[in-house]
Chain A
Amino acid sequence: MNKGNLSSLFSPRTIALIGASGTPGKVGNIVLGYLERSGAQLFLVNPKGGEIGSRRVYPSPEDLPEKLDLAVITVGAEAAVTAAETCAQKGTAFVIIIAGGFGEVGGRGKSLEERLKALPERYGCRILGPNSLGVFFPESGLDTIFVEHGDRALAEGGGIAFITQSGSVGVESLGLASNAGFGMRAFVGTGNKADLNEHDFLDYFGADSGTSCLAFYLESIESGREFLEQAGAIAAKKPVVVLKAGRTAAGGAAVSSHTGRLAGSDNVVDGAFRQYGIQRAYDDEELCDAAKALSMVRPAAGNRVAVITPAGGFGVMCTDYIESPDRRANLTMAHLAPATVTRIRKVSLPFASAANPVDLTAGADDTMFLETLKALLEDDGVDIVICITFFAPPSISKDLPEKMATLIRKAEKPVLIFTQYGPFTAGYLKRFYELGVAGFSAIRRTVRAARFLVERGMILRLKEAKDEK
């Protein structure tokens, strides 16, 4: 069995599409459209035979060549199992089963899933799903996801491997994320996990040089302790963020001990993740924001935050968020060095505030922004900078995002952007994203992203300290 190498799942040279259809709107047709862009050699299967476009259609999986890299099966549960069995016998390396109606419905579906589970052991073929949206891998152009998923926006690729047990949570998250720029290395829907599960993708993307951050949505974790150990080892090199949904009770004896009652929520998961250096997210937005920040921005060396704002109110709100205690990582407003304050005073307007949060006022221009940012980045008492940027003030030029990005990309400290400008927000955030800068559309989300960077810094320092022992 192909244990570790999933590369032909993500970059197949040959793909069979079982359930291929010429009828617009059918899953087998949508997936066909996507697969045609992948550049892989396609083999279409449909009992009707004939042709779709100029491609020949095989009436049965029996007619497929031996040893294909991948088979994508879009037909219903029962037929999918039979097709998967045939593919497995023919030495197909990977099979993706999109249909539901398996273990999750019990009864007959469960026995169908059992038949699938037997295949890897017997034929060495690895199965993704069933009940999986499959994979999206921008680098190879492979995309089997038949629902809208911000595909165009994400097609340029990036560093985030996004592994999700729920297809819809996955695609909706991506839709949300792609609006404002999100660098996708891979999307994997694990579905019912008859064979391939979070462990396989953790190992693969943990070792993949193109992956800079792993993000998981999980409802169940197989072999929990091993998963943590492996994820913890990977977290020494790259960030691992997990949204563990579905809170579990602590078991039967729970009610009669204090500990059982106190563990009733998912406090144990919380502690366990911290212990292994895995960063936890609690909803789809947080998972995407964390992955975006962690994949694009360096970890923070400490928790002292400096804020630049052209609007007092947002500076005040941002300060409130920063100073609020938080279990992930407490942040604190940086005390600026006198030299920094003097520097900022020199470049800013007389009625600007040079203390943190630095309020440049609506009269700010490009130079004030850039010189202030430089001063803050060079202040030893600052670990992370949040730029509140609106591009409405009349004295700010169109080029400011580019100029800021040039500074931010070179900076040795993490910088995050908050921008809120009605219908133009997504445009600005996306522009920043394309310039290599991570931005968010709410103060709360920006400060939360900062906490992830501070938490990441703490994890790395801890892992390094453990190595030295």
Chain B
Amino acid sequence: MKSETDYTGLLETWKKDLEIPGKPNEWEVKELMRGAGLPVPENVLLKAGEPLPDGPVPGVEAPYAVKLCSAEVLHKTDVGGVVLGVTAEELTGVLSDLRERFPGEHLLLSSMVPVRGPEFILGALSDPVFGPAVMAGAGGILAELYKDVAFRLAPCTPAEAGRMLTELTIAPVLTGFRGSSMDLEGLKTIIARFSLLAGAATAEGAQLDINPLVWTGSQWLVLDGKAVL
């Protein structure tokens, strides 16, 4: 596992390269997470002002997920900025429609992934008394309704992450509830790794969200990420 210093360096370079200083977009957040060793699936940034692809795009395949990728728009689903399950034939049309509706914004293109079982959320913030902390819990759009989350101070070990997960109401799905089969060990490692990034990122007051983190049946994937600097 990388040392904390690496994460600080990674973060500084990342901050410097942000397109809008202090306001990272989803693609940038995901690249940071990828750099921190988290499992981020391949996604292609279609920059504003650049011509849209008119055929297959290397690295991703149909069916696609197409998302608005903006530092300004907080709830992209609410404004119709997310189109899922796009076929190869539909792609050109969907892209040009989004481009028309959101001129001047980037688009993010990725492959649809199968999701097995419930979604998870991970988060990081700095507590005013205890410093950097990580969160894990039941994710998805209802995360804030269920409030099924637990915290640990960062950095936290995989074993500690495991104990944090046992506090969740949703915990049984990680240990075979109704035939579920999710990789608990893998999730613990991801949380531990995320906690190292959290330690560095939250030191200056930043907050990170990964929501959702999903299990595809063979791996965990970060499908969306956010950073509030």
Contact = CB atoms under 8 A, between A and B. Distances in A.
- Is B one of A's binding partners? yes
Given A250-B125, A262-B147, 14 more contacts: A225-B131, A251-B125, A253-B228, A254-B125, A257-B125, A257-B207, A257-B228, A259-B125, A259-B208, A262-B149, A268-B153, A270-B150, A271-B150, A272-B153
Given A254-B207, A275-B156, A275-B160, A270 B123 contact: no
Contacts of B208: 257, 259
Contacts of A256: 74, 207, 228
Contacts of A275: 152-153, 156, 160, 163
Contact of B207 (A260, A269, A327): A260
B131 A263 contact: no
A338 B64 CA distance: 62
B156 A258 contact: no
A312 to B, nearest CB: 32
Contacts of A444: none
B144 A261 contact: yes
Contacts of A259: 121, 123-125, 135, 207-209
A221 B150 CA distance: 21
A168 interface: no
A228 interface: yes
Nearest to B129: A224
Nearest to B151: A271
18 contacts: A224-B130, A248-B129, A250-B207, A251-B205, A253-B125, A253-B229, A259-B124, A259-B125, A259-B135, A259-B207, A259-B209, A260-B207, A261-B144, A262-B121, A262-B123, A269-B129, A271-B151, A271-B153
B49 interface: no
Contacts of B135: 259, 262-263, 267
Among A225, A252, A256, A268, chain B packs the most CB atoms within 10 A around the CB of A268
The 10 closest A-B pairs by CB, nearest first: A259-B123, A271-B151, A224-B129, A257-B207, A224-B130, A268-B127, A268-B151, A258-B209, A268-B133, A257-B228
A85 B157 CA distance: 48
Contacts of A269: 127, 129-130
Contacts of B167: 271, 274, 327
A260 B208 CA distance: 9
Nearest to B227: A257
B194 to A, nearest CB: 11
Contacts of B209: 257-259
Contacts of A257: 123, 125, 207-209, 226, 228
A457 to B, nearest CB: 15
Contact of B151 (A252, A253, A261, A272): A272
Interface string B104-145: 000000000000000001011111111101010100000110
B123 A272 contact: no
B127 A250 contact: yes
Contact of B152 (A220, A248, A252, A272): A272
A218 to B, nearest CB: 10
Nearest to A267: B151
Given A272-B127, A275-B152, A262 B143 contact: yes
A279 to B, nearest CB: 15
B222 interface: no
Interface of A: 220-221, 224-225, 228, 248, 250-254, 256-263, 267-272, 274-275, 327
Interface string B41-65: 0000000000000000000000000
B38 interface: no
B206 interface: yes
A177 B133 CA distance: 35
Interface string B202-216: 000111110100000
B149 A267 contact: yes
Contacts of B211: 258
Contacts of A274: 152, 163-164, 167
Contacts of B123: 257-259, 262-263
B164 A271 contact: yes
A257 B127 CA distance: 14
A251 B228 contact: no
Contacts of B207: 250, 253-254, 256-257, 259-260
Contacts of B228: 253, 256-257, 260
Nearest to A220: B129
Contacts of A252: 205
B133 A221 contact: no
Contacts of A260: 125, 207, 228
A225 B133 CA distance: 11
Contacts of A248: 127-129
A55 B109 CA distance: 88
Nearest to B229: A253
Contacts of A263: 123, 125, 127, 133, 135, 151
Contact of A270 (B126, B151, B160): B151
Nearest to A257: B207
A270 B152 CA distance: 8
Nearest to A218: B129
A275 B121 CA distance: 20
A228 B130 contact: yes
B158 to A, nearest CB: 13
A228 B129 CA distance: 11
A221 B130 CA distance: 9
Contact of B130 (A220, A251, A268): A268
Given A225-B130, A271-B164, A272-B130, A253 B206 contact: yes
Contacts of B160: 275
A199 to B, nearest CB: 14
Interface in B133-191: 133, 135, 137, 143-144, 147, 149-153, 156, 160, 163-164, 167
A263 B205 CA distance: 14
Contacts of B163: 274-275
